[in-house]
Amino acid sequence: MQKTRTFIVSGSASGIGQRMALALATRGERTVMLDIEGDALRRVVSEAGYVDATHVVTRVHDVRDATGWERVVQETVARFGTVDVMLNFAGTLRPGYVQDLDAGAIDQQIDVNVKGVIHATVAGARQMRAQGHGHIVNMASLAGISQVPGLSVYCASKHAVRGFSLSAALELRPCGIHVSVVCPDAVETPMLDMQKRYEEAAMTFGGGRGLSLEEIERALFDVLERRPLETVLPIPGSGRGALAKLANLFPSLAALGVERVRRRGRDVQARVRSPRA
């Protein structure tokens, strides 16, 4: 029987982070839930019945804050004695064609998606190196393998997460630290709901549906068990994982299928779209 571990989970107020943090807490794991949205985080914990649970801690935290990451790790060690696993799920997405991008959209996606993951990994690695073991899981995307017109900055950020994670994994493995990068297809989260309103995000819906949170949870617990270097999670039966890898190997080929995927994605959006705010 595996001993109880200590997890730090960013993005715990919604989406994948919320699902995994609550799943871990339900299993009795010591769980530090982080999110920049304090009210939403407190609501999640309250509704789950973990307000007074000794094995669940909540912290309002901006993943862009490097000093804040060091503080989170130190407080976790002071409370639970160790940081066994760090799950970096916080992320943001702003659809937009290149000519329409504004500085705020660019900075937010790069700062949260890239710098947030790097700062977290650095702080986690320092503690894990001192204790001689640990596992860091960073969330990239199929967009970190292939090209996604209409989501160019998000795509760039996830390429950066993947490249950083794969490089960090080679550095840290001799120290007893595993780094896994996860590259899922579209997932049924508030981030996906938001994209329904944007024609620029049509490629996201080319798989016909999103992965369910149940599918993601199952896959992530497998990652926690096996600690692989990389896990690619396409929508079953869509072939999108193979297509992403092919486009990565031969970038010019990606243009051949873009319009077909966009058309399919627009059809899906038309069925589910709500009026644009």
- How confident is the model over 149-166, as a mean pLDDT? 97
Grade residue 104 by pLDDT with cuts at 50, 70 and 90.
very high
Q: How far, in Å, CA of 136 to CA of 169, rounded?
A: 9
233 secondary structure, DSSP code: E
Is residue 179 a contact partner of residue 134, using CB atoms and an 8 Å limit?
A: no
Q: Which tens digit of pLDDT belongs to each residue from 1-59?
A: 468 999 999 999 999 999 999 999 999 999 999 999 999 999 999 999 999 999 999 99
**CATH for the stretch 6-272:** 3.40.50.720
pLDDT of 275 over the 60 cut: no
The residue to which tokens 């080929």 are assigned = 253
Q: How confident is the model at residue 277 (pLDDT cuts 50, 70, 90)?
A: very low
State mean pLDDT over 218-240: 94
Domain boundaries, the chain: 6-272
Lowest mean pLDDT among 142-146, 185-189, 204-208: 204-208
User: What value does the mean pLDDT take over residues 258-270?
Assistant: 79
Amino acid at 204: T
Prediction pTM value: 0.93
Overall average pLDDT of the 100-124 stretch: 97
Average pLDDT for the chain:
93
d(CA 187, CA 182): 13
Nearest Cα neighbor of 185 from 261, 116, 236, 227 is: 236
Positive or negative CA dihedral for 73, 76, 82, 85? negative
Q: Say yes or no to pLDDT of 139 above 70.
A: yes
Among the ranges given (4-8, 157-161, 239-243), the one the predictor scored with the smallest mean pLDDT: 239-243
Q: How far apart are CA 64 and CA 117, in angstroms?
A: 8
CA–CA dist 243, 236 (Å, integer): 13
**What's the pLDDT at 1?**
47
Q: If you average pLDDT over residues 210-227, what whole number do you get? A: 97
E strand or H helix at 47, and its extent?
Answer: helix 38-48
- Per-residue pLDDT, averaged over 183-205, amounts to 90
Q: Which residue has the higher pLDDT, 179 or 260?
A: 179
Strand locations in 157-220 (E): 177-184
Percentage, residues of the chain above pLDDT 90:
77
What confidence score (pLDDT) does residue 55 get? 97
Enclosing H/E stretch for 30: strand 30-35
- Give the pLDDT mean for 249-267: 79
Cα-Cα-Cα-Cα dihedral sign, residues 217, 139, 18, 175: positive
Mean pLDDT of the 211-215 span = 96
Closest to 156 (Cα-Cα) out of 169, 172, 145: 145
Closest CA to 188 of 159, 212, 172, 153: 212
Asked if residues 4 and 27 have their Cβ atoms less than 8 Å apart, the reply is: no
Whole-number pLDDT of residue 273: 67
